[in-house]
């Protein structure tokens, strides 16, 4: 069955360390990551949209923004205690897994899926209300770009 799909893109400057990587990717380094959130529906809403891009942005931007100027790191990485000592609020810690782009894509997918399942109500900076009704749309996938030539995604 054909479906409508929309995609909202975010950009974050995000660091990560891959403790299991044989090469330099285990060192602290960062990427300008594009994050694409792809949502679909069989039919359009009363405004002839799958979902208002603005509503999707309001609903998920804060969670994606956590990654901005933060260091994603495995809880078992030997450098974690030192990073926490120097910059206690700068780390996003992943329990026993390396925060590869695949793992980050799944983390974002799981969060956005919960929001779309439960619904969202918020308002723009100009005070206009935006609502996403529970289970109104499906999350197809979250794609995370690591470099201009590499991405990973999680979803159907």
Ligand X SMILES: Nc1nc2c(c(=O)[nH]1)N=C([C@H](O)[C@H](O)COP(=O)(O)OP(=O)(O)OP(=O)(O)O)CN2
Binding track, positions 21-60, relative to ligand X; x by CB under 6 A: ----x---x-------------------------------
Helical segments of 27-155, H only: 53-65, 80-86, 101-118
Counting contacts by CB under 6 A, is residue 20 touching ligand X?
Answer: no
DSSP 80: H
Residues 6+ apart with CB under 8 A from 42: 1, 3, 4
Structure token digits, residue 79: 């450098």
User: Burial of 150 by CB count in 10 Å (0-12 exposed, 13-18 middle, 19+ buried)?
Assistant: exposed
Would you count residue 150 as binding ligand X (CB under 6 A)?
yes
Using CB under 6 A as the binding rule, the residues of this chain from 120 to 149 that contact ligand X are: 146-147, 149
Name the CA dihedral angle for 18, 27, 12, 64, rounded to a multiple of 10 degrees.
40
Site residues for ligand X, 72-111, by CB under 6 A, read: 100-102
Question: From CA 83, how far away is CA 113, in angstroms rounded?
Answer: 31
Q: Return the number of the residue (136 or 152) whose C-beta is nearest ligand X.
A: 152
Q: Least Å distance between CB 146 and ligand X?
A: 6
Q: Of 98 and 140, which CB lies nearer to ligand X in the complex structure? A: 98
Using CB under 6 A as the binding criterion, the count of chain residues that bind ligand X stands at 11
Closer to ligand X by CB, 101 or 138: give it: 101
List interacting residues with ligand X (CB under 6 A). Answer: 18, 25, 29, 100-102, 146-147, 149-150, 152
């Amino acid at each position: 069955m054909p479906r409508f799909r929309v995609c909202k893109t975010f950009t974050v400057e995000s660091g990560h360390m891959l403790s299991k990587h044989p090469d330099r990717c285990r060192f602290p380094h960062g990427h300008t990551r594009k994050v694409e959130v792809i949502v679909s529906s069989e039919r359009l809403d009363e405004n002839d949209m799958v979902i208002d891009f603005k509503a999707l942005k309001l609903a998920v931007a804060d969670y994606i923004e956590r990654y901005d100027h933060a260091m994603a790191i495995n809880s078992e990485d030997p450098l974690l205690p030192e990073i926490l000592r120097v910059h206690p609020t700068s780390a996003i810690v992943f329990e026993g897994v390396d925060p590869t782009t695949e793992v980050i894509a799944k983390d974002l997918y799981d969060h956005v899926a919960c929001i779309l399942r439960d619904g969202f109500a918020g308002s723009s900076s100009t005070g206009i209300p935006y609502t996403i009704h529970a289970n109104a749309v499906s999350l197809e996938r979250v794609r995370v770009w690591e470099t201009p030539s590499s991405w990973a995604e999680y979803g159907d």
